[in-house]
Structure 1
Amino acid sequence: MSEAQTIADHQETPKVLGGVVPYLMVSGASKAAEFYTEAFGAEEVFRQPEDESGRTMHIHLYLHGGSLMLCDAYPEYGQSLQGHAGYTLTLSVEDVDGWWARAVGAGMQVKLPLERMFWGERYGQVQDPFGVTWAIVGK
C-alpha cells in the first residue's frame, strides 16, 4: 500500500462496494488483510497507517465484488476484541472448487467439508486464523 493511498495524505477514499458491508475487528488487521488477499484474492484499496503498537483503525478491501472493512481492537477507546460467533460470511461463487482450494491452501481450517447440499448447491465452511467463519457456496 503506497502512502498516497492513506487518509493522512488526504486522498479520496475508495468507493464502498456492495449492500451490506462487513466490518471485522480482529487481532492483527494488517495480517488479516494479507491473509484475505492470499485466501480469497482480495484487493487492498485503503489503509490507515499503523500506530506505534502495529494496530490500524481501518483497512478497506475489495473482495469478490464487495467491500470488506477491517480494524484492530482499541480497548482504551471502548473497542475491545470480542469472539467471532453467531454469523458466517458467505461467498457465493461460480468456481466453488477453485475458491475452496485457494482458501484451504492459504490455511483456512475446514469446519464443514464442501459437499452438495439438499438445496442443490455445493456448500462448505472454513474458519480463518482470526476466528471468522466463512461459507463458500456455488454450483
Structure 2
Amino acid sequence: MTDTLEAQAPALPKTKGTVVPYLTVDGASKAAAFYIKAFGAEEAFRYPEDENGRTMHIHLYINGGSVMLSDGYPDQGHPALPPQGFQVQLILESGIEALFQRALDAGAEVVTPVQKMFWGDTWGQVRDPFGVTWGMNQRAQA
C-alpha cells in the first residue's frame, strides 16, 4: 500500500533556506495571489483546494527563500488564528522603496514607514490583508 501511495505522490519542489516560515491564514489561495502581486513570489507547488474551498499546502519562493502556507483546518486541530508575535523579514540589497510601494499597491497597509534606522540599514514594515506583518530591511551600502 505504501508503494502505491508513494507512486501517486507528486514530486515536491526544492525547499530554499533552512528555516522556512509556514503561515496559516484564512484564504491561502488569495494570500498566495497577494504575495505574487506584492512581493513577486513564484509559486513552486500547491495541493488543490478541498471540497470546502480550503488549500492544505502552497509552497512559494519569495526573495530567494521558501515560504509555505495553508488555510486553517480547525476540524483537524489546526485553526487559523490571527497572526501575532512575529513578522516575516525580507532582507534586501536594494530596491526597498519600490518593493514597499508594490506591497502597498497590492493592498498592504503601512505599519512602519521606510526609514533609515539607528543600526544603519533602511527598514520598514507592512501588514498584508491576511494579518501577517512583513519587515523589509535594506542593508546599508558599505
The structural deviation recorded for 1:53 is 1.3
How high is the sequence identity, in percent, across the aligned residues?
53
Paired residue type of 1:11: P
Structure 1 residues 31-84: Cα deviation after superposition (integer angstroms, max 9, x where no partner): 000000000000001000101111011000011100000100111111111121
| Structure 1 match to 2:100 | 100
The structural deviation recorded for 1:9 is 6.1
The structural deviation recorded for 1:11 is 2.9
Paired residue type of 1:91: L
1:111 aligns with 2:111: yes
- The CA distance in 1 between the partners of 2:64 and 2:16, in whole Å, is 7
Paired residue type of 2:12: T
Paired residue type of 1:33: A
Corresponding pairs, count:
133
- The CA distance in 1 between the partners of 2:42 and 2:103, in whole Å, is 15
Comparing 21-30 with 9-18, greater Cα deviation is found at: 9-18
* Segments ≥4 residues shifted beyond 2 Å: 7-11
Give the TM-score, by structure 2 length: 0.89
Paired residue type of 1:12: A
The structural deviation recorded for 1:8 is 10
- The CA distance in 2 between the partners of 1:97 and 1:132, in whole Å, is 19
1:55-70 → structure 2 map (5 Å cutoff): 55-70=54-69
The question of whether the paired residues in 2 share the 8 Å contact of 1:8 and 1:48 is answered with no
| Structure 1 match to 2:13 | 14
1:73-84 → structure 2 map (5 Å cutoff): 73-84=72-83
Three-state SS of the structure 1 residue aligned to 2:81 is coil
| Structure number, greater radius of gyration | 2
- The CA distance in 2 between the partners of 1:100 and 1:36, in whole Å, is 12
| Structure 1 match to 2:49 | 50
Give the TM-score, by structure 1 length: 0.91
| Structure 2 match to 1:4 | none
- The CA distance in 1 between the partners of 2:116 and 2:53, in whole Å, is 42
